[in-house]
Amino acid sequence: MKIKLIFLGKKKTNSLTDLIMSYFSRIQKEITTELIFISNSNKKKDLYSKKINNCINNNDVVFLIDENGKHYDSISFSEKIKRQLQNSSKSIVFIVGDAYGFPVNLYNISSEIISLSKFTFPHEIARLIIVEQLYRAITIIKNHPYHHE
């Protein structure tokens, strides 16, 4: 079992990226994880979609992070992750769109669309939130005291 995080858009070097990488390294200590940044620097939609599709296997469980998706609290999100980890040999893929969202074909292959909030966030902040929530979910699953009720 593996978790893949695919972040669409440029990877910037700033304090948010440092926080993202800090949580990512914590997750890696607990589960096999891959972080992929895909930029659409040449503005060719077909090439962009192809780059994304090359990172996703046919049997992966794909979740899109989008403001119009289903809402979870941290506990129910951790239960969802736990079920996926226990009941599947497939990789779990979380994709955070860039400022322009997702290529249309991703909606067709996604298992579910998940919202982080009713608020709209810049994609860099959405990246940080999903990585922190994944770390939180793993600590809840492992009964680590990081999450407080």
| pLDDT tens digit sequence for 21-37 | 999 999 999 999 999 99
Classify the phi-psi angles of 4: left when phi > 0, otherwise alpha if psi is within -120 to 50, otherwise beta.
Answer: beta
Residue 33 has a pLDDT of 94
The gap from C-alpha 3 to its chain's centroid, in whole angstroms, comes to: 8
Q: What is the DSSP letter of 14?
A: S
pLDDT in tens, the chain (149 residues): 799 999 998 888 889 999 999 999 999 999 999 999 998 766 666 677 888 889 998 889 999 999 889 999 999 999 999 999 887 778 999 999 988 888 888 999 999 999 999 998 888 999 999 999 999 999 999 998 888 77
Q: What is the bridge-based pairing of β-strands 3-8 and 33-38?
A: parallel
pLDDT in tens, 45-71: 667 788 888 999 888 999 999 988 999
CATH class of 3-141: alpha beta
Cβ count within 10 A of residue 49: 16
pLDDT for position 27: 96
pLDDT given for residue 41 in this prediction: 67
Distance CA 12, CA 31 (A): 25
Res 44: pLDDT: 64
Strands (E), 23-142: 33-38, 61-71, 92-96, 112-115
Q: Which two tokens stand for residue 29?
A: 């200590």
User: How far is residue 142's CA from residue 136's CA, in Å, rounded to a whole number?
Assistant: 10
Which pLDDT does position 35 carry in this prediction?
96
pLDDT at 45: 66
